[in-house]
Amino acid sequence: MKKIAVMYFLAALIIEFAAVSYFGGSMAFFHVPQSSVRMGETLSSSRNQPAISIASGTDPASAAPISTSPQKQSTASSSGKKKTNPTVREAPPPQSASSVPQVDLQGKSFVGLLCHFGANTAAIANAYGNSSGEILMKGSGVIVNSEGYILTVRHLVDPKWTNWAYASSTSDSMKILNNNITFKYCEVAMPTSDALPDIAVIQRINPNITVNHPFLYLATLAFVPPQGSLSDYEYGYLDFAVLKVTEPMHNCAQFNACTLPRSYPYSPSLSAEVPEKGTNILNFGYPAELINSRASTFNDFYLKGTLGYLKDYFGGDAYFKNKPFTFEWTANDVLEGRSGSPLMWKGYIVGIQTSTNIENSAEDFALGIPAIQRILKENNLGDILITN
């Protein structure tokens, strides 16, 4: 049986001048939820502790004063305990989507998220907060309808759920931090144009795509899925959340940008069908590496594309039993920081990026749109995704 270890991309946790930068989005967790189930096969899974790059100072448990030096230091990752997987029956082959027509990519729908958290204790605020005592994290997302709803990953906005879902991979100090911060809102960055590099350009030079700065909008949490009829295994994999643009940026008057648009650019989703194995997949997200330099700031965002192909589907063991749930796809340059970024096929969203195999960075994992749509419909939110 194949062993996989998955690294979940969170966003970045920063300190006023010294950044705590986790591999992936910024705060990345190395983790496989309870088990990973290939169609007709049970996989052995293992969890790993996060590998972090920290400026200087202490971990969240001690909350001691932190040096203002911007120099980063790396620490090694360590392996966690192996987990026993449930026995799961083979899921049927997905319905083919070969007849779906091509639609144009909507570049402005691919957004970067700079999320603000309040510290629940003065010690956490003093050790890890910015000048306002807030903790900031970075991630990716996609606008999914004209009303400004944004699909992203739950591990970006729900730290207490992250502690549960990633229990074996999250250090005690990170659990303490996660238990002492509360999500407030995200600033929303988007490209200045809908035009995106095509496959040939991505393969040849793959340019960085600039975004509007300052960020124009603020988004608040609209939905996180309840466990309901899902098993613990399935709930640990159900890593998605929905945000909604609710107001302009706080200093909008300074930039004459205090009026929200009547309609937002969005990408449609492919819900009833899914691409066949071997299908080419496009991904656009906001890699953390592009801002990890002394010359950059934590507010810097750059969109970047990648090309891969869909490798396999996974089923669940209860609510998603015998149904496509998550899938694996392969690409050589899925850089850290893309959690919540959309996987695109023929201009449609087919899933959101959640993780990668830390033993083989070319193997990546996503939560499929059919699973997301099913959960939204069950919670009377089926209209959030605009589907084909």
From first to last of its 388 residues, the chain has per-residue pLDDT tens of 333 333 333 333 433 222 333 333 333 323 332 222 333 222 223 332 222 222 222 333 333 222 222 222 222 222 222 222 333 434 545 555 567 888 999 999 999 999 999 999 999 998 888 888 899 888 999 999 999 999 999 999 999 998 998 787 778 888 888 899 999 999 999 998 888 888 888 888 888 888 888 899 999 999 999 999 999 999 999 999 999 999 999 999 999 999 999 999 999 999 777 788 889 999 999 887 666 555 567 778 889 899 999 998 898 999 998 888 999 998 876 666 788 999 999 999 999 998 877 677 788 889 999 999 999 999 999 999 998 7
Q: Could you tell me the pTM of the whole model?
A: 0.80
Q: What is the DSSP letter of 316?
A: B
d(CA 31, CA 174): 14
Spatial distance between the Cα atoms of 353 and 267, rounded to a whole number of angstroms: 15
| Cα distance between residue 210 and residue 193, in whole Å | 9
pLDDT at 205: 86
Return d(Cα 50, Cα 200) in angstroms, integer. 35
Structure tokens at 363: 């193997």
Cβ(218)–Cβ(190) under 8 Å? no
- Let me know: does 153 contact 339? Beta carbons within 8 Å: yes
Number of neighbours of residue 101 by Cβ within 10 angstroms = 8
CA distance 244 to 220: 6
Third-level CATH fold of 3-378 = Thrombin, subunit H (2.40.10)
Distance of CA 80 to the CA centre of its chain: 22
What does the pLDDT read at residue 292? 55
Q: Is the Cβ–Cβ distance between 245 and 218 less than 8 Å?
A: yes
Tokens of 128: 């890890």
Q: What is the pLDDT of residue 106?
A: 93
Residue among 329, 277, 324, 239 nearest 31 (CA): 239
- Taken as a whole, the chain contains a residue count of 388
How far apart are alpha carbons 50 and 33 in whole angstroms? 14
Do residues 43 and 35 lie in contact, with contact meaning Cβ atoms separated by under 8 Å?
yes
| pLDDT at res. 129 | 85
Spatial CA neighbour of 318 closest among 237, 239, 376, 240:
237
- Which pLDDT score is estimated for 174? 80
Paired sense of beta strands 280-285 and 342-345, if any = antiparallel
Residue identified by tokens 């966690």 is 80
Closest Cα partner for 169 from 333, 2, 24, 334?
A: 24
Place of tokens 């890890």: 128
Q: What angle do CA 109, 112, 117 make, to 5 degrees?
A: 130
Residue 377: partners with Cβ closer than 8 Å, 6 or more residues away: none
Residue 199: the pLDDT is: 86
Specify the 3-state DSSP secondary structure of 372: helix
One-letter amino acid of 291 = I
DSSP state of 295: T
Decide if 166 contacts 29 (C-beta within 8 A).
Answer: yes
Helix%, strand%, coil% for the chain, nearest 5: 15, 35, 50
**Cβ atoms of 143 and 264 closer than 8 Å:** yes
Question: Please, what is the end-to-end C-alpha distance for the chain in angstroms?
Answer: 37
The half-sphere exposure of 178 on its side-chain side, counting CA atoms within 13 A, is 23
Residue 107 token pair: 């570049």
